[in-house]
Amino acid sequence: MNLVATAVFLALFLLVTVLGFASARWRSGDLNQLREWGLGGRRFGNWITWFLIGGDLYTAYTFVAVPALVFGVGALGFFAIPMTIIAYPLVFALVPRLWLVAHKHDYITVSDFVGGRYGSRWLALALAVTGIVATMPYIALQLVGIEVVIGGLGFPASHGLLGEAPLILAFVVLAAFTYTSGLRAPATIAVVKDLLVYVTVVAMVVVVSRHLGGMGAVFTAIAPEHLLLPPIAHGDWGQQSAYATLALGSAMAVMVYPHAATAVLAAKGPNTLRRNMVFLPAYSFLLGLVALLGYMAYASGIDRLPSLAPYFRQYGPQFAMPGLLLHYFPSWFVGIGFAAVAISALVPAAVMSIAAANLFTRNIYRPFFHPDCSSAHEARMAKRMSLAVKFGALLFIVFLPLTYAIQLQLLGGIIVLQILPALVAGLYTRWFDAKALLLGWAVGLGWGAWAASLSGLRQSIYPLHVAGQVIPGYIGLYALGLNVLVAAAATLLVRAAGLADDRDATSAVDYAG
């Protein structure tokens, strides 16, 4: 065990634990109300919203998986950078309108809005279940990030519950402060998390590139086929179309995830969100540096070093970023870097569990099982559900091989994208019919699951054949296109048959501020 790194890691972990519990008193409100526990009372200002949304979207899995993807497959891994650049202008047009109507009608979730907009609790139910299912493996992968750095600290890698004891302890801490403080806990911890991440990533880029002889030497050491996407040849668009569709599809999915919507609805106003969408691209610069760490790991041949080879055998390319820390930095800084990854897991995992609990309570439990439950009962149920969601994610890690959790995450974006038509269309028009949207949702999900199953859930790319061309692309984006086409065609048929239901709990003025 690396005792110095472990001591620094535990000290920082203890700091954020104390912050998590103490945050219950920050801008205190009645935590027996769901809007206070699950949305922080909708009172987060510019800075806290910036840190919360950034901490929510740039997770431990981002800092582990992006370098791993670049290390393993090369240039394709850089799709994450244009993804974030594309996402913010798209979201700039959507989230202020969503916040306004949600505030007017006390909507806690996106499914609340969709249910009110289309007068359909069944459509709201479908979207709630979709959000919860897409979120579960995502929480599990945050715990994977913690597991990787715990292994890097030198904890014995025994099998069963004993080997997972540090991870279980981290889960218990996460569950406790989330239950106690609600969304205020990850909001305050996100500030510490982002500061640690920026310090760690900038230091790694400077120090490691210097050891390797500069960035010119790094790129010179990388094989051309690893450095560039192969050109389009013989009618096969290959990685060119895969890169573009992954970037666009992921950008469209990123703000539809329930935890992203939760962070958005916790802001104190639409102008707060607009300012954040302008300045959040600063994270894209950080993400570019994170991706470069994958090339640095490749150029250094770090996976072949005798001291680190056992870690790479156990964790594969996911150990690229932790391996650089262990090889090039003193133990005290390793502790800081590993703590940054672990805290980057706690923040989104907490928000994700809160978002899933909000969806279950507001759109499943209350409308279908207990319509007349009190506000206090609703909040208690959400707190209990947040524990259940985290426990389910922990089971993924303890009892399933790591590869299965990662394969399940590939479906997350495919699944959650099918929420997009009902949400985006609903923010601007009431033309679509709820029944048609349900049909489009079902077709998109069904086709997406089938396409992903062709590779045994190991890939999220599908080779589409069009006019003699092979266009490999992100399954989620293709499924979304099918979803929209079916929903539009079905709406035309329903309206032509005079069967459209135009119930709407909102009005035009609700979207205008």
Spans of all domains in the chain: 3-12+36-229+237-396+403-511
Handedness of CA 112, 116, 121, 127 (dihedral sign): negative
pLDDT value of residue 2:
83
The runs of H, that is alpha helices, within 417-465 are 420-428, 434-453
CA gap 26, 68 in Å, rounded: 37
Q: Does domain 3-12+36-229+237-396+403-511 have CATH number 1.20.1730.10?
A: yes
Distance CA 382, CA 306 (A): 48
Nearest CA to 266 out of 351, 343, 348 is that of: 351
pLDDT computed for residue 56 by the predictor: 77
- What pLDDT, on a 0 to 100 scale, did the predictor assign at position 131? 93
Q: Which residues of the chain, if any, have pLDDT below 50?
A: none
Look at the pTM and tell me if it is higher than 0.85. Answer: yes
Return the pLDDT at 171: 79
CB 207 within 8 A of CB 328: yes
pLDDT for res 162: 55
Whole-number pLDDT of residue 270: 92
Pair 166, 378: CB distance under 8 Å: no
